[in-house]
Amino acid sequence: MNQKFNLKIWANTILKSSKTKYIVAFVLFFLIMFVFDSNNIPSRIYNKFKIEKLKREIAYFEEKIELDKQKMEELNSEENIEKFAREEFLMKKQNEEIFIIKE
């Protein structure tokens, strides 16, 4: 008896079963959705994480903008500008000395 592997016979016996047709259809659908589609599942998951990261960045920068707006409002007076220049840029008047104490 010659036991050669014949692909046509093997494929016909598998496709004759009704369960097998559904399994093949499901596998093809899964491959199309998971691998070949432009909106496949891995890219959707990646995009979801990217969106969440960008939302966190937006919240962070909105908070920074609020803090900067508050600083700008504080700097509207002459006294606050002088205080800011002394603290941030270590500026001084002509007859002053500055001592920096680091903790």
Residue 82 dihedral angles phi and psi, to the nearest 5°: -65, -45
Task: Return the pLDDT at 5.
Answer: 63
What string of pLDDT tens digits covers the 103 residues of the chain? Answer: 445 567 777 777 766 766 777 888 888 888 887 878 778 888 889 999 999 999 999 999 999 999 999 888 888 877 788 888 777 787 777 887 777 788 7
Pair 79, 87: CB distance under 8 Å = no
Task: Return the pLDDT at 35.
Answer: 79
Pair 14, 20: CB distance under 8 Å = yes
pTM recorded for the entire structure: 0.51
Q: Which residues contact 57 (CB under 8 A, 6 or more apart)?
A: none
